[in-house]
Each structure stands twice: as C-alpha cells, then as structure tokens.
C-alpha cells in the first residue's frame, strides 16, 4: 500500500493516528466552506504534511447566517454575477 486517506478526522484524531500508525495518512477529506472554514485543522494538516481535500465547498445555503446570505446571495443578485462567483473567490483566496 502506497498511500492511505482519512475522512472527517479532527486535529486530535489525526495526531493520534500519526503517532501510532505505520503509514501516515496522505489525505484528510473534510468539509470546508465559508460557514465552516476549519482554519485550525487545515493549519495542522499543512504542518503535518497531510493534504486536505475539501468537500461541500459551497456549503448548505439553508442554514447560512444573515451576514453570509448578504455576501453569497444578495450581493451576486444585485451585481448580476452568478451566485457561485463570491464563493469561488472566497475559496481561491484561501489557496
């Protein structure tokens, strides 16, 4: 086996795994979006050499706070931009 990956591991779970596993995970797949940015976990993964793969990058719009609704729904509508542009811009700025 060359590489293994994990999904939805937090900092403590990942630290325990790295300390005890014979093969360090290469990837941690986690939910990352403006509502759930996971800054601490991404920082830990970067320092530990574990690649982060994000899912649900557009988030679930039904539970957005009002301030995020403005940024991701009302602002694109007012500027006639596609609604995915602000979210893609947010993700791009994180790289």
DSSP string for 18-71: HHH-SS--SEEEEE-BTTB--HHHHHHHHHHT-EEEEE-TT--GGG--HHHHII
What's the whole-model pTM score? Answer: 0.66
Of 10-19, 25-34, 82-91, the range with the lowest mean pLDDT is 82-91
pLDDT tens profile 41-50 = 999 999 999 9
Closest CA to 11 of 41, 38, 37: 41
In contact, 73 and 65? CB cutoff 8 Å: no
Starting at the edge strand found earlier in the chain, the sheet holding 51-55 runs 5-7, 27-31, 51-55
pLDDT at 6: 97
The residue that leads in pLDDT, 29 or 69, is 29
């Amino acid at each position: 086996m060359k590489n293994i990956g994990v999904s939805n591991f937090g900092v403590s779970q990942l630290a325990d795994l790295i300390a005890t596993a014979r093969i360090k995970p290469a990837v941690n797949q986690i939910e990352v979006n403006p509502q759930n940015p996971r800054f601490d976990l991404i920082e830990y993964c970067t320092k530990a050499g574990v690649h982060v793969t994000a899912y649900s990058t557009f988030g679930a719009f039904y539970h957005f706070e009002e301030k995020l609704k403005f940024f991701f729904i009302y602002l694109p509508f007012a500027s006639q931009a596609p609604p995915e542009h602000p979210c893609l811009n947010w993700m791009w700025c994180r790289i």
